[in-house]
Amino acid sequence: MMKSLLPGTWVLWLKKMNIRPPGLLLLLLLLAVPATAEAQFAYAFTNGTITITGYSGPGGAVAIPSEVNGVPVVGIGNGVFTGCTSLTSVTLGTNLTSIGNGAFGGCTSLTNVSIPDSVTSLGEVAFDNCTSLTTVTVGAGVTSIGDQTFSGCGLTSVIIPDSVTNIGYEAFYNCSRLDSVTIGNGVTSIADSAFWSCGSLASITIPNSVTSIGGGAFNSCGLKSITIGTGVTNIGVGAFSGCPKLTEATVPNNVTSMGDYAFCQDYSLASVTIGNGVASIGDLAFCEDYSLASVTIGNSVTSIGFQAFCGTSLTSLTIPSSVTSIGAQGFGGCTSLTNITIGAGVTSIGDSAFGNCDNLLTGVYFQGDAPNADSSVFNNDNYATVYYLPGTTGWGPFFADRPTAPWNPQAAGLGAWTNHFGFTINWASGMSVAVDACTNLANPTWIPLATNTLSSGTAYFSDPQWSSYPARFYRLRWP
């Protein structure tokens, strides 16, 4: 039967000999608020707390009470306000600890939300597709932002507090107006597609607390600059791909894994530095980055994947000795490429790895033995000559259908000053070059003057005694 407790308030009264009501009793509680508002909410009562389980009101401005007749309201259940397009604002009580899955999903008229510090859990799709939601304050108690929590919202800025440790899958997916994001120093992981298609987001700083950036996390964003923290070890597949305004990128030394397509189709990307921790440059990692003119490859990289740098604007290229394999079409279609230096560790080069670089590519300099390769490696590179170092093996008059020649040290920038004569020696990095001199080329007696080890492919030689002789001739040789 129904029993009146207070004027204007009613609860369901259960009484039966030797029978207790269940521990979780769904009630239409009308205990502590005016009768016109009471009927808007359905509640569940358990363990001395209340969770809102339903809403039937007209929308507009809604207040979630902190308590009902002294009983704290701690939760908003799954889907309570889902699709309530008339809801314009909501005030959340200070005892609230959880907001359920889809609690406010599709509330397209909701404009702002302040989540109190008492809340620790934000459910999946909690505010999904709240297209008018421009402002949200995430309280300092929230520990995780769930999958698709704010997906498709109209947010323009968001501050993620230090209490949050995880940003979920598609948490801010397609928040096209989002132009400012501050990621707290407690976040350790950013899930796949977390900020995918945030076209107004111009810059992002990944704090040092983050260890993993998920696949597609910032795909198709409006990023012009990124800063990757010193804690990140993994950059997922396509994490920063399709960002047409990004101009430069530095992958720090702490990153050990970088997925396929990581920076693919970033059409304005002009400069890239890949740190010394990365072991592999994945397939299509920088493919179609048409403005990419400069790349530094770290000395831990062992493989360069399929079409990793295809279609870029590189003019010169140095592949470190740590690399053992270069994938098919790895640098295909790089039509601005003029010279390539390939480290001694390379043992395998894939089909058309440097194909269709056209007529600007004239010199390819190998520091090691001839690698495994077929005739397509330099396909349509009609003016390229392959150079090899003295003492290396496997070279014939042709390599991959291109003519070969010994790679010898060269002198450049010769000049005489009042106190010395000097020039720059260009050759393979790490090689040693001896400089000898004589005074008579018809009957030469060569005197060794210096031995230089080339750092980064160059060394400078200076002869302060040159003016003491009527003539002085020099030769370069390897010891």
CB 320 within 8 A of CB 299: yes
Based on the fold, state whether residues 392 and 336 are members of the same structural domain: yes
Average pLDDT, the chain: 91
Instruction: Pick the last residue of a domain from 407, 422, 449.
Output: 407
**Number of domains observed in the structure of the chain:** 2
What pLDDT was estimated at residue 10?
Answer: 28
Over range 269-291, report the average pLDDT.
97
The reply to whether 114 falls in a domain is no
CB within 8 Å of 465: residues ≥ 6 apart: none
- Which two structure tokens, joined as six digits, stand for 382? 């009609």
What pLDDT was estimated at residue 117?
Answer: 97
- Which two structure tokens, joined as six digits, stand for 173? 């997916």
Length of the chain: 479
Residue ranges in 115-222 assigned as alpha helix (H): none
Supply the pTM of this predicted model.
Answer: 0.86
* Matching residue, tokens 């530094």: 296
The reply to whether 351 falls in a domain is yes
Strand boundaries in 152-307, DSSP class E: 157-160, 166-167, 180-183, 189-190, 203-206, 212-213, 225-228, 234-235, 248-251, 257-258, 271-274, 280-281, 294-296, 303-304
What pLDDT was estimated at residue 6?
Answer: 32
What pLDDT was estimated at residue 455?
Answer: 85
The reply to whether 167 falls in a domain is no
HSE-CB at 381 with a 13 A cutoff on CA atoms is: 34
**pLDDT above 70 covers what percent of the chain?**
92
Read off φ and ψ for residue 434, nearest 5 degrees.
-95, 140
Domain, as residue range, for 399: 302-407
Tens-digit pLDDT profile for residues 328-378: 999 999 999 999 999 999 999 999 999 999 889 999 999 999 999 999 999
What pLDDT was estimated at residue 62?
Answer: 95
CB 81 within 8 A of CB 104: yes
Based on the fold, state whether residues 401 and 450 are members of the same structural domain: no
Residue 475 pLDDT more than 90?
Answer: yes
Based on the fold, state whether residues 381 and 306 are members of the same structural domain: yes
Based on the fold, state whether residues 421 and 361 are members of the same structural domain: no
Residue 36 pLDDT more than 60?
Answer: no
* Identity of the residue numbered 21: P
CA distance linking residue 374 with residue 388, whole number of Å = 17
* Matching residue, tokens 């170092």: 389
CA distance linking residue 245 with residue 70, whole number of Å = 55
CB within 8 Å of 443: residues ≥ 6 apart: none
What pLDDT was estimated at residue 429?
Answer: 87
Q: Phi/psi class of residue 103: alpha, beta or left (left: φ > 0; alpha: ψ in -120 to 50)?
A: alpha
Instruction: Pick the last residue of a domain from 407, 424, 444.
Output: 407
357 DSSP β-pair partners? none
Based on the fold, state whether residues 379 and 420 are members of the same structural domain: no
Q: What is the CATH classification number for the domain harbouring 333?
A: 3.80.10.10
The reply to whether 326 falls in a domain is yes
Residue 254 pLDDT more than 70?
Answer: yes
Over range 99-105, report the average pLDDT.
97
Pairing of strands 280-281, 87-91: unpaired
Comparing 18 with 109, the larger pLDDT belongs to 109
What pLDDT was estimated at residue 38?
Answer: 46
What pLDDT was estimated at residue 359?
Answer: 87
Residue 461 pLDDT more than 60?
Answer: yes
Q: Which of 352, 333, 334, 354 has the alpha carbon at shortest distance from 342?
A: 354
**pLDDT above 90 covers what percent of the chain?**
87
What pLDDT was estimated at residue 7?
Answer: 33
From residue 1, alpha-carbon distances to 11, 108, 127 in Å are: 9, 41, 39
- Which two structure tokens, joined as six digits, stand for 67? 């308590």
The reply to whether 203 falls in a domain is no
Instruction: Pick the last residue of a domain from 352, 381, 407.
Output: 407
pLDDT confidence tier of residue 416, bands split at 50, 70 and 90: confident
Based on the fold, state whether residues 323 and 341 are members of the same structural domain: yes
Residue 35 pLDDT more than 90?
Answer: no
What pLDDT was estimated at residue 21?
Answer: 38
CA distance linking residue 475 with residue 479, whole number of Å = 12
The reply to whether 165 falls in a domain is no
What pLDDT was estimated at residue 105?
Answer: 97
Count CB neighbours of 199 within 10 A.
18
Based on the fold, state whether residues 417 and 402 are members of the same structural domain: no
- For residue 470, the 8-state DSSP code is S
CA distance linking residue 145 with residue 125, whole number of Å = 10
H or E element at residue 36: helix 35-38
Based on the fold, state whether residues 433 and 419 are members of the same structural domain: yes
What pLDDT was estimated at residue 155?
Answer: 98
pLDDT confidence tier of residue 478, bands split at 50, 70 and 90: confident
Residue 29 pLDDT more than 50?
Answer: no
Read off φ and ψ for residue 359, nearest 5 degrees.
-90, 0
pLDDT confidence tier of residue 24, bands split at 50, 70 and 90: very low
Based on the fold, state whether residues 360 and 429 are members of the same structural domain: no
What pLDDT was estimated at residue 77?
Answer: 97
Based on the fold, state whether residues 331 and 385 are members of the same structural domain: yes
Residue 20 pLDDT more than 60?
Answer: no
- What 3-state class would DSSP assign to 476? strand
DSSP codes joined into one string, 309-343 = TTT---SEEEE-TT--EE-TTTTTT-TT--EEEE-
Q: In what order do the strands lie in the sheet with 325-326?
A: 280-281, 303-304, 325-326, 348-349
What pLDDT was estimated at residue 400?
Answer: 97
The reply to whether 451 falls in a domain is yes
The reply to whether 330 falls in a domain is yes
Residue 229 pLDDT more than 50?
Answer: yes
Over range 231-237, report the average pLDDT.
98
